[in-house]
Amino acid sequence: MKYRNLTKKNSHEISSLVIATGCLLKATDFTDEGWVFFVKVNQPIEIENRFNEGFISFGAFLNDELIGLITLKNNSHITQLFVTKDHQGKKISSKLWGMAKKATNKTQENKEYTVFSSSLAIPVYESFGFKIIEPPQERNGIYYRPMKLQ
């Protein structure tokens, strides 16, 4: 397993991983319109735009295949944390979180992090120390739980 920074050059791989893994949540965390929106905002061009806006991303690779990733906005808000179904439960998300946290601690003074968690990821974020801070929310047809780590 290799871990490294992701760049715009990885946009197609990121898109494929996010959409394929997001399918696991389709029945619980998306309306029909929400799924269409999710797919739209995770197309390669949209991912490239996020890199241009300063988002940072780290990936896990097995035999040169992207199997996990984490993306942060403003060095403090996790926008994506996905691991392929076959590789979940192997501490890949913990390693990716550790990399992101280490990279962002260099530039962030207050070290507060937030995430809008899917229903399935709540236990993962809780294992990192995040706490649910609000009741379930919905935006653009996507259901999530706001969480924070201080």
What does the pLDDT look like over 12-42, one tens digit per residue? 999 999 999 999 899 999 999 999 999 999 9
pLDDT value at position 45?
97
Query: Which structure tokens are listed for 147?
Result: 């969480």
**Helical H segments across 10-146, by residue range:** 11-22, 26-29, 32-41, 44-52, 92-105, 122-127
Strands 77-83, 113-117: pairing is parallel
The pTM assigned to this predicted structure is 0.92
Domains, the chain, ordered by start: 2-109 (3.40.630.30)
The Cα 25–Cα 30 span in angstroms is 7
**Helical H segments across 42-91, by residue range:** 44-52
Q: Say if residue 107's pLDDT is above 80.
A: no
